[in-house]
Amino acid sequence: MRSYLDFEKPVAELDSKIDELRALAASGSDISEEISSIEEKAAQALKDLYANLTPWQKTQVARHPQRPHFSDFVKGLITEFTPLAGDRKFGEDEALIGGFGRFRGESICVIGQEKGATTESRLKHNFGMARPEGYRKAVRLMDMADRFDIPVLSLVDSAGAYPGIGAEERGQAEAIARSTDACLSLGVANIAVIIGEGGSGGAIAIATANRVLMLEHAIYSVISPEAASSILWRDGSKAQEAATNMKITAQDLLRFGVIDTILKEPRGGAHRDPAATVALAGDAIADALNDLRTLDRDSLRKQRRQKFLEIGRKLG
């Protein structure tokens, strides 16, 4: 069963027409030419639509349930993935997964939020909203990667850190700050890929990297458009306006120097072809790692610090 976002209606109509014609063709009529012409039309409509998504439409695409998540990227890119659990202080947080594996044959540490794909797994992963334990586990794994001279790959996909009583009591803010701190201390290369939602502090905690890549239709922001709408406009219905004004798209963030590279998504968005999306991301990650290969520990740290200190300084 295909699902369409509200703004994809024209494409949905063409697709259902194609289905009808196919059914006709199956019953004997020779209309293959007509089918392929409508197919072409549908493909073009999809391409045009996705070339001009508004920030709010991108928000919907970034949150699409069928979009490839952390686990899809790991399955597609990492062999021998061995997840490690627990922060050694309080608990295990399955919203933020981390472990070691091989990327194109070489050891890599992978951390990132998993939103889950079914009701059951969404609950298990707390919709990708990590608690302090998740960030403290990330710190533990980054420290280990640093010691064993293994690069770190962060896959960022979270609406934000979890707002809860326990999370606050156990120092959510401190855990995020320490995780950012740990990223900035790494003497190994780290690459962050914003694969879906880069939600505020919960994202930056693992996205403070030598190279920050971002999928074409992902979003990255200081606060969700919905929350910004209710705080700044004092009106929950202004999320679309907030999404536009806050400049949350990959294209805006590249212009601001907040991200380094935009990763193309397949026609009609990552959710229409998760495997191709993952493969493309894999090539970009390999390129980024290659670029950083010549830098020694000190240069990697310096490059990362300098890069973040420079953000915003050159904007007119």
- Chain residues binding another protein by CB under 8 A are 161-165, 167-174, 176-178, 180-181, 183-185, 200-201, 204-205, 208, 220-223, 227-228, 231-234, 238, 241-242, 245-248, 253, 256, 258, 302, 305-306, 308-309, 311-313, 315-316
- Of 28 and 316, the one with the shorter C-beta distance to another protein is 316
Q: In whole angstroms, how large is the CA radius of gyration of the chain?
A: 21
Smallest distance from another protein to CB 258, Å: 5
Residue 221: DSSP 8-state: E
The helix or strand, by DSSP H or E, that contains position 211, with its residue range, turns out to be strand 211-215
Of residues 108 and 159, the one with the C-beta less far from another protein: 159
Write b or e for each residue in 216-248: b if 16 or more Cβ atoms lie within 10 A of its Cβ, otherwise e: bbbbbbebbbbbbbeeeeeeeebbebbbbebeb
- Of residues 136 and 271, the one with the C-beta less far from another protein: 136
Q: CB-wise, 119 or 306, nearer to another protein?
A: 306
219, containing H or E segment = strand 219-221
| Nearer CB in complex with another protein: 92/310 | 310
Which residue, 34 or 226, has its beta carbon nearer to another protein?
226
Which long-range contacts (C-beta less than 8 Å, at least 24 apart) are formed by 199-202? 199/158, 199/159, 199/160, 199/161, 199/224, 200/160, 200/161, 200/224, 201/160, 201/161, 201/173, 201/176, 202/113, 202/129, 202/130, 202/158, 202/159, 202/160, 202/161, 202/162, 202/176
221, amino acid identity: S
Cβ of residue 175: shortest distance to another protein, in angstroms? 9
Min CB(251)–another protein separation in Å: 13
CB of 234 to another protein, least distance (A): 8
For the CB of residue 159, give the shortest distance to another protein in the complex, in Å: 11
Shortest CB 27 distance to another protein, Å:
53
* Residue 45 or 219 having the CB closest to another protein: 219
Longest pairwise C-alpha distance within the chain: 70
Alpha carbons 103 and 79: distance in angstroms, whole number: 7
Least separation in angstroms between residue 245's CB and another protein is 5
Rounded to whole angstroms, the Cα distance separating 230 from 239 reads 8
